A and B are shown apart, each in its own frame.
Chain A
């Protein structure tokens, strides 16, 4: 049975800040950091936005694209490392907000930046086994780096939702493969506000080992090689890592550009590879083939071999739903306003 993407929706908040502006505050060369990371600006959520609101926006954008009855959605899984509640699911609120409740299952996922793709794999299994007609997988994050930390220059916000089903598929998922090890490159302990990381340890033994192995193994399973793909998208903690990974796997620039959003919006964590995939689906033609490889610290990678079908054009009637529309026209913040928006300014408790 063919299983694939029936619809998709993206959400990127309106606000931006540049590494140059962040560097100005911490006395570091923001310009050099911006070049080093290949991140010109990153997205910032409003004070009244969180993983729940952005997941709802992405899910609603997904529903606007298709004619699926929300009551036919059998599962909603939301992957994030910045769920507003430690206990109390994001997914139930999404289910209620798109009127999919109450006859469905729902849960929140966490696997650093690949919880959203893990959700896609779960939905694929549920649909393929005929347990349900559709499953919705969402990856959203509003993750942040500690003030002054290297992560602060790239950690951003965004969300993307994918509806997985077996009929009217707009992009068929031909194969999926995951590669998982115990690698402590990045983590956040319960109750801590900001994550911690292993510095340069996050590179070779973590991101590159998993992404490259996973991508390579998937192509082996699928019997494909880099030239079979029109587009490739990798997890993008910055604008450099995915380009290097692509090159190492044998992909060229024209295959990577469309899905590479981190130079404009930074690292959207759980949403990163999904927003990149959405941006590819926004312009791809029927028959186009896509390789997507997610990465989650801790660590693991999920890879997908995807073929676009003729149904894709039906999903693109509203130009306002395009990722490019959400990325353009961002409003730039100074660091003080950014700090206020991100709750880095502490207000007096009960200042009445």
Chain B
């Protein structure tokens, strides 16, 4: 992928920056310049906000046929996540065994390598999600 095309999205890919409509309060991810509910009334009134970083799995698939960039990681889990902020996004689920994945599972954002432009090229980083740790270790 062209470097600037990835680079300009890093605020959202690194830190889940979204937009919030100044008119109706609706949150959108990735950020939008026009609110789909308010249209013209929202122009110039979209604010940048950061998503809270956790959500629940709406659906998922274990990918066995992967494009070249993801060969080394197959099989891997891809999911649609319903974020606590009310928006949805698509992301891989990491640090999770196939037997533990389920619809509804609570997950949180982490920071991982998304891909690279070949061995010598630039590396792309961004969010992937992992199951939210819910049982503290025994003392």
Contacts and interface: CB of A to CB of B under 8 A. Distances in A.
Nearest to B115: A48
Given A50-B113, A347-B72, A84 B136 contact: no
A60 interface: yes
A49 B113 contact: yes
A97 interface: yes
In the complex, which range does the number of interface residues on chain A fall in?
A: 20 to 34
A343 B116 CA distance: 14
A59 B123 CA distance: 20
Contacts of B111: 53, 56-57, 60, 97
A326 B110 CA distance: 15
Contacts of B136: 319-320, 325
Contact of B113 (A48, A60, A351): A48
Nearest to A318: B136
Given A53-B111, A97-B14, A97-B15, A48 B128 contact: yes
Contact of A46 (B68, B94, B118): B94
B73 A48 contact: yes
Nearest to A56: B111
A188 interface: no
Interface in A295-352: 319-320, 322, 324-325, 328-329, 331, 340, 343, 347, 349-352
A108 to B, nearest CB: 14
B9 interface: no
Nearest to B128: A48
Contacts of A48: 73, 94, 112-114, 128
A285 interface: no
A47 B15 CA distance: 21
B65 interface: no
B133 A49 contact: no
Contact of B71 (A53, A99, A319, A347): A347
A46 B110 CA distance: 13
Contacts of B119: 349
12 contacts: A49-B113, A53-B113, A57-B110, A97-B111, A322-B137, A325-B136, A325-B137, A328-B137, A340-B72, A343-B72, A347-B72, A351-B68
Given A85-B123, A329-B137, A351-B68, 20 more contacts: A46-B95, A47-B72, A47-B113, A48-B73, A48-B112, A53-B111, A53-B112, A56-B111, A57-B111, A60-B111, A84-B123, A93-B125, A96-B10, A97-B15, A97-B125, A320-B133, A325-B137, A328-B137, A347-B72, A350-B68
Interface of A: 14, 46-50, 52-53, 56-57, 60, 84-85, 93, 96-97, 99, 319-320, 322, 324-325, 328-329, 331, 340, 343, 347, 349-352
The 9 closest A-B pairs by CB, nearest first: A319-B136, A56-B111, A48-B113, A48-B112, A325-B137, A97-B14, A47-B72, A320-B133, A14-B95
